[in-house]
Structure 1
């Protein structure tokens, strides 16, 4: 054991160092007064009934095994799993047992972060408990929880990376509610909740929402081959310009394994505050709609499906002003699917503003060279702004006439050809609230 500082160690750091000295002698190096390093090659064990309290940031590059009934309580700000690190359970392979419970707590009144450098599937926490009113942020790399993700307090906020809970046939999420859930962010792309099914898996809850205070979870029953399913939710209706007939949410589903015979039963839960004006007025006509590029209106039209309330996709009390709709027997599932809710009774008519594209290929071949807003009315004034992934404004037109061809007109981007990649847009019609989305430039 070697210290780079020998004096001035604060009491919290001293406590964790003494604790680690006691349980893991000669294997841990304190890099600074508030950080503990577990070096490559170090093999540490939290034995059954152990109760380990950690008050310093962790930089983990070794192996920290935790047995069933052991507790590792983390109170500092950053837990980082470096390349090659492992957090196995008590089983021979390290992923077949129960393992200990890693609790992230706000005892020191700070938000907490989990960083995963070159994370590997199922090489994460055996059980993760969130008990932090100031929230826990999954900041770098995918987060893996092998067995149970438990919400006691606060949210798990995904900063563009997935959280994978369980292996096929395993994995539970408990304690979730409208005040404790996974925040995916409001855009169409970003981090998702990933779950894994077997051929006989029960229905699975996905307790997700776009932001703190916007809980819009789902429940899915997948029948077919073993599947990896991921979901996130976004704050608009995919590829639609105006949508007063919709709930202003899109649930985005990704599946990893092609399964021509697979089918899905899907229940979506939304809040009254998320309903468009026409939807609110015609809630009895609501149904779960599926995005389909073969349709003029891009979203399919179904008979009304019963709406139930309060919302019960929660592990706590039912949620009032929350509404659920179920769609049965969804088949021919594509690798990416989009779902929303609507009350539209027939396919699109000529007076309904409709879609905007999600990609352009400005290569001069005369096809999809510009970003075109179609089915707009002659009197519509469209404001269109494009932002880089770093949220820098690269294009703006206050009376857009379908001219954006991948060339910037703002700041240092004036007249410059923008690189291929993902960009974000904000579009509004006749001074209405702007609708966010994303577009891809691919020449």
Structure 2
């Protein structure tokens, strides 16, 4: 009996260890919303004609959601027959389940926006129309839901709600906007309100937030239609705001944080800026401003003190400390991912480019044109997990092999 118990405990231990070490990408832009994949041993150049396609899934529905991966499942979302639909695939691209969570976004650029978030056996998704749904990740069965517009007084911008939800401990964080709460924390298991950020009435602006430690205080950094915001992640209290307005109220790029400084960027002719937090973390001041990078919604990455990302049809590299441009190249615009000292640049027209992550110069190492499922732009961010590259376009999900040989 003792021997049997010991064997059972050892088995449980190694199973848990194996699970903990299983590569995952549970949230949009990965852990801490940095678009940095920690994997190594990936290809440093690609074969002529492009990467090997391992498999494809052809029924994602219409939309721009990327994928998240955890617990042996791949999650994404799309508009299927007018319904916002969350789905799970196995690691070979076989459908496990689909679950409608309300009406799909049908106005400008119809389809899903936000990417599902996985946490502790649950997957969460916010539709463009404002329905927040919590689903059992294994079965897709609805656990709870909340209409941010009807039940929380939320507001919707011109292009719907595009936030990918953030889990913080037992809370799930979202931005309804409007009079009742610019940001809201809900119990992730029940959907009950934990705290609300009040004192600022504004519209959400398509941004996925991130949480950083500033002294002893954890700050939620995010963007509303007209402000960069710092919010106490434990209480919801608004700590500081910085006016930052564009003509279209779009701030879709997650702020970058390093050593008390915050980089914010947007499109529509708006300069990117570096803000410096005060010593007590309760206010910010502008350090520098540059027109070299106007990031729309493709994201930026910070690597060894340099920011890489796309602006208005220009990819560029700028110094985080002083804002000086190291290089820029006219190569369209798109989304970005860092992995194994390389940058994966996905042009919104469907060209995928591999370059070395260096401020010295832009040098294209490999590239190829992705198959086009429709005339829609390639806006879903690329993901690398367990040596596989996932590219979502319209109704299609393509999975490529990027493991080094």
- TM > 0.5: no
Quick one: higher RCO (CA 8 Å, sep 6+), 1 or 2?
2
Q: Which has the higher strand share?
A: 2
TM-score for the superposition, normalised by structure 2: 0.31
Task: Determine which structure has more spread, i.e. the larger CA radius of gyration.
Answer: 1
